[in-house]
A = this chain, B = another copy of it.
Amino acid sequence: EEKKEEDSTDPYSKDPPRHPVYKINSLKPFNAEPPTGILTESYITPNDFFFKRNHLPVPDINPDQYKLVIEAPAATKGEKPLQLTLNDLKTKFPQHEITATLQCAGNRRSEMNAVKQVKGLDWGTAAISTARWAGVRLRDVLQHAGYTENTPNANHVQFEGLDCDITGTSYGASITFAHAMRKENDVLLAYEMNGQEIPRDHGFPLRVIVPGIVGARNVKWLGRIVVSEEESRSHWQQNDYKGFSPSVDWDTVDFTTSPAIQDLPIQSAITEPHPGQEVVPNSEGNLTLKGYAWSGGGREVVRVDVSLDGGKTWQVAELTGEKQKAGQAWAWKIWQLSVPMPSEAKELTILCKAVDSSYNVQPDTVAPIWNLRGVLSNAWHRVQVTVGAN
C-alpha cells in the first residue's frame, strides 16, 4: 500500500493508504474503482478492491469517543437527542447481516461522456461492488429513539456524515421514513464489512447501508440521524443525483422537477474480456465471457442475454449468486457464458443486457438516456476486442 507524507494544511492529509491496484478518478476527494476483471473473480468484493466514492476528506474518528446522535421525535419537545456509542449499538440491538451490492449513480458515466460531455467523475464499469455487511437495523434504533409508524410528520430519515468541507458543511442524504421502518428493506447501520471493522474509506466506524438504493444514500461516517417532514436539504439530495431528459442542459435544468434517485434500474456489464483485449479461443474454439448484473429495489436479476452480432441473436448466460428472498435480492449475480468463436472474425463486439424480476430491461443505446450529470448509465454494455490466433 502506498505511503505518503502528511501535510497539515491539506484536509486530505489524514486519508488512509489505498491499494495500488485502483484506477483513480479523483485523488482529493478519493474516488477510485478496481480493474473491472477483479469484480467477477469472487462473488464478494474484497475490502481492498471495493470501489471508493468519497465526497470529502475521510474523517479521523476515535471509535472510543464516537457517538451516534439521533434527534428525538418533534412531539417530545425538549427531549434530548439519543446518543449511542459503538458499544451500545453492538450490545443493545440484535445484529443483522446482509449481502448487498452498492453502485455509484455515476457507474459507467464514461460511456455517457463518449456521447457528449457530462459533469462528473469519469467512472468506468467498476463503480459497483458487493460486500457482506453486519450491523443493526435502522428501524430498531429509530424505535428505540421513540419513533413509531404513526409518528406525525415523520416522512424522511436524514443522515449526516462526519465528513465535512472547510465551511463545516457535512455530507448528507435521506431516504423515506416508510422505507427505513419496513423490516424487509433491511436498512442497516453497519459496523462491519466482510467480517472486519468497516475500513476508514468505507465509513468507519458506522455506515448506513440502504440495500437496493443508490450509493449516495448509503452515508458513511454516520454522525447524526434526523427524522423530518422534508427530504435532506443537502446539495447531494437536492441538486445532484437526479435524472433528466437528454434535452436538459446546465442552462435549462431545474433540479426541483426530478425526484432524487433512490432505487436504481437494472444494470449489467461485461468484465471479461476487457475492451481492446486480444482474445484467443480455447482448444474447443470457445471464448469465455463474464460479467455482473444487478438491479435496485430488491429486484432479482432473472436473465442475462449476450450477443456477438450486434443484437441480432442472443444467448442466455449462466447466473451464479447467493440465493436471496423475493423482493430482497440486494446482491448482484455473476454471469458467465462460453460461446463458439464466430469464424473468420478479426474483431468482435460483445453485448450484454439483463432482465430483472419486474421484467425491466436495459435500454439499447446510451444517447437517449444521456443526462447532464451522467448518472443512471445502464444501456447495453458493449466491449470490442480483437481476435488472436489459436
Contact surface of A with B, Cβ cutoff 8 Å: 176, 178, 184, 243, 245-248, 258-259, 261-266, 296-297, 302-303, 305, 311, 313-316, 326-327, 353, 355, 357-365, 367-369, 376
- Set of chain B residues within 8 Å of A259, measured between Cβ atoms: 302, 357
Known A247-B315, A327-B178; contact A258-B302, beta-carbon cutoff 8 A: yes
Q: Is the CB of A265 within 8 A of B368?
A: no
Q: Closest CB-CB distance, A298 to chain B, in whole Å?
A: 11
Q: How far is the CA of A355 from the CA of B264 in the complex (A)?
A: 12
Q: Beyond A178-B326, A326-B176, A327-B178, is A313–B360 a contact (Cβ under 8 Å)?
A: no
CB distance from A182 to the nearest CB of B (A): 9
CB-defined A-B contacts under 8 Å, sample of 9 = A245-B303, A246-B305, A247-B316, A258-B302, A263-B358, A264-B358, A305-B368, A353-B368, A364-B365
> What residues of B have a CB within 8 angstroms of the CB of A178 in the complex?
184, 326-327
Of the candidates B247, B327, B363, B376, the one whose C-beta lies within 8 Å of that of A363 is B363
Question: Bound state CA distance, A246 and B355, in angstroms?
Answer: 12
Beta-carbon contact of A245 and B368 below 8 Å: no
Q: How far is the CB of A11 from chain B (nearest CB, A)?
A: 33
Contacts of A316 in B (CB 8 A): 245, 247-248
Inter-chain contact A313/B363, CB cutoff 8 Å:
no
Structural contact, B360 and A265, CB atoms closer than 8 A: yes
The answer to whether A361 and B359 touch across the interface, beta carbons within 8 angstroms, is: no
Distance from A358 Cβ to chain B, minimum over Cβ atoms (Å): 5
Report B-chain residues with C-beta under 8 Å of the C-beta of A247: 305, 313-316
- A163 shortest CB reach to chain B, Å: 26
Contact A314 B360, beta carbon cutoff 8 Å: no
**Top 7 A-B pairs ranked by shortest CB distance?**
A364-B364, A265-B360, A360-B360, A263-B358, A247-B314, A245-B316, A265-B359
